Structure 1
Amino acid sequence: MIVSETQIRTAVQGDDAALAELDRVTWSPLHAVQPAPGPEEPFFDARHVPGDYLVAVRGGGLVGYVRVVPSTPLAANSHVRQIQGLAVAEAARGQGVGRELLRAAMDRARAQGAVRITLRVLGHNGPARALYASEGFAVEGVLPGEFLLDGAYVDDVLMGRLLAG
Structure 2
Amino acid sequence: MPEPLIRPARPDDEPALARLDRETWSPLHEVRPEPPAPDEPFFHPACGPDAHQVAEYDGRVVGYVRLGHPTGMPTNAHVLQIRGLAVAEEARGKGAGRALVRAAVAEARRRGARRISLRVLGPNTVARALYASEGFTVEGVLPGEFHLDGRYVDDVLMGQSLV
Residues in 2 aligned to 1:5 and 1:102: alpha-carbon distance in whole angstroms: 14
Question: For 1:71 and 1:107, how far apart are their aligned partners in 2?
Answer: 17
Distance in structure 1 (CA, Å) of the matches to 2:55 and 2:110: 19
Note the aligned Cα RMSD (angstroms).
0.9
Counterpart position of 2:9: 11
Unaligned runs of 5+ in 2: none
Letter in 2 for 1:49: G
TM-aligned CA deviation for residue 93 of structure 1: 0.3
Aligned length: 161
C-alpha deviation, 1:137, in angstroms: 0.5
Q: Gaps (5+ residues) in structure 1?
A: none
Offset of residue 71 of structure 1: 1.7
Letter in 2 for 1:57: E
**TM-score (ref. length: structure 2):** 0.96
Helix, strand or coil at the partner of 2:80: strand
Counterpart-to-counterpart distance in 2, 1:59 and 1:102: 20
Tell me which residue corresponds to 1:63.
62
Provide the residue aligned with 2:141 in structure 1.
142
User: CA–CA distance in 1 between the matches of 2:17 and 2:158?
Assistant: 25
Q: Return 68-77 or 84-93, whichever deviates more.
A: 68-77
Q: Is the 8 A contact 2:121 2:154 kept in 1?
A: yes
Determine the C-alpha separation between the residues in 1 that align with 2:77 and 2:122: 27
Tell me the residue number matched to 2:22: 24
What is aligned with 1:36? 35
TM-score (norm 1): 0.94
Q: Which amino acid aligns with 2:11?
A: Q
Post-superposition shift, 1:41? 1.5
Provide the rounded CA distance (Å) in 1 between the counterparts of 2:103 and 2:113: 13
The one-letter code of the counterpart of 1:12 is: R
Partner of 1:95: 94
Query: What does 1:78-117 align with in structure 2 at a 5 Å threshold?
Result: 78-117=77-116
Q: Deviations over 1:83-137 (max 9, x none)?
A: 0000000000000110000000000000000111000000000000000000111
Conserved 8 A contact 2:3-2:95: no
- What percentage of residue pairs aligned between the two structures are identical? 61
Displacement, 1:70? Answer: 1.6
Q: Which residue of 2 aligns with 1:124?
A: 123
After superposition, what is the alpha-carbon deviation per residue over 1:21-73, rounded to whole angstroms, capped at 9, x for unaligned?
Answer: 00010000110011211112121122321100000111010000000112222
Matched letter for residue 126 of structure 2: P
| TM superposition shift of 1:5 | 3.6
